[in-house]
Structure 1
Amino acid sequence: MVPGIVFARGPAVAVLILLESNGQTYAVLTEQVRVPVGKFLLELPAGMLDDEKGDFVGTAVREVEEETGIKLNLEDMVDLTALLDPATGGRMIPSPGGCDEEIGLFLYRGRVDEETIRSLQGKETGLRDHGELIKLRVVPYSQLWRSTADAKALCAIALYEMAKREGLLPSANL
């Protein structure tokens, strides 16, 4: 039996941005109001695929730039969901009981100076003409899992930590 109501959303991406500065690793999050839950949420930079080409990594790079102002290169992105068993389809499915959304979770690791961390903290971003009112939050990576209820972030942390433990990540260009 198929449920009577489903939410057709389609494919999306999210990026776990980890920046190292003076021996500390930070995660860059967006803070914006989310009407369905009625509050501000800290989330990974994320967005929907806008075209039919299925360009997950290109969309991830574009969304990071739109939502954070950080310019990334395609080759710097690690597709965390591609590390899943191929039988999964290589994407995270956040709510399969009611939504067709599938999310490609990506990782970016970089090294920056303390001034960059300070300049990102509280920076206002987003595509204002699309109604995006985003404020950036930079949190120590060690506190990330306790700082957000965003399923994308929590799944990205799990995939990152498991891939790191199993030695599946390419060496970072730090």
Structure 2
Amino acid sequence: MLLECAGEKHVVLTEQARVPVGRVILELPAGMLDDDAGDFVGTAAREIEEETGIHIKTSDLIDLTALLDKETGQKMFPSPGGSDEEITLLLYRGHINPEALSALQGQEQGLVEHGELIKVHVAPYRKLWRYTADAKALAAIAIYEMATKEGILPELSSL
């Protein structure tokens, strides 16, 4: 999620304890498909709302992985040597006012009944690559930057 405010891009991250790596990680809002329907976009919109409190329309999400060459399968494989996990990377870009942006910082979110204890962070996009060890975020930066360079992304939405 990229939010433009006063001419600067900001990214919305979630902070969660991650048992496999034994520490708290700042990462992109994300989730697993709960059914066999394969509704990546609907799942992403739902997870964004659950993890950040921000409601977005599915029509405002851009599939970044669909910009990859068809021979890649248009999916990202974070660890193809150890897992068959596939990831679809989706982008939301929008405008936000300074008050709303400030209100996001530090919000506590997540589905407590599912054991989710999530804190929302807002960071300058230009520093994202240094703020996170999240492979999803790092891959999204690379695809977003190249797509921007090639001029193939649509205009911004408003929150």
Query: TM-score w.r.t. structure 2 length?
Result: 0.97
Find the counterpart in structure 2 of residue 38 from structure 1: 22
CA offsets per residue over residues 30-65 of structure 1, 9 Å max, x none?
A: 001001111100000000011101111111111101
Find the counterpart in structure 2 of residue 158 from structure 1: 142
State how many pairs are aligned. Answer: 158
CA offsets per residue over residues 118-144 of structure 1, 9 Å max, x none?
A: 111000000100000000110000110
Find the counterpart in structure 2 of residue 120 from structure 1: 104
Find the counterpart in structure 1 of residue 157 from structure 2: 173
Find the counterpart in structure 1 of residue 85 from structure 2: 101
Deviation at 1:173, TM superposition (A): 2.8
Mapped partners of 2:115, 2:100: distance in 1: 26
CA RMSD of aligned residues (A): 0.8
Deviation at 1:171, TM superposition (A): 2.0
- Contact map agreement 2:95 2:156 (CA 8 A) in 1: no
Opposite residue 145 of structure 1, the aligned amino acid is W
Mapped partners of 1:112, 1:66: distance in 2: 19
Mapped partners of 1:162, 1:97: distance in 2: 25
Find the counterpart in structure 2 of residue 70 from structure 1: 54
CA offsets per residue over residues 79-117 of structure 1, 9 Å max, x none?
A: 000000111111110001111110110110111111111
Mapped partners of 1:113, 1:163: distance in 2: 26
Q: Higher helix fraction: Structure 1 or Structure 2?
A: 2
Consecutive aligned runs of 4 or more in structure 1 exceeding 4 Å deviation: none
Query: Which of 134, 142, 164 is the equivalent residue of 2:118?
Result: 134
Mapped partners of 2:134, 2:152: distance in 1: 24
Question: Which of the pair has more CA radius of gyration?
Answer: 1
The percent identity for this pair of structures is: 64
Find the counterpart in structure 2 of residue 4 from structure 1: none
Find the counterpart in structure 2 of residue 92 from structure 1: 76
Unaligned runs of 5+ in 2: none
Secondary structure of the corresponding residue to residue 88 of structure 2: strand
Query: TM-score w.r.t. structure 1 length?
Result: 0.89
Unaligned runs of 5+ in 1: 1-16
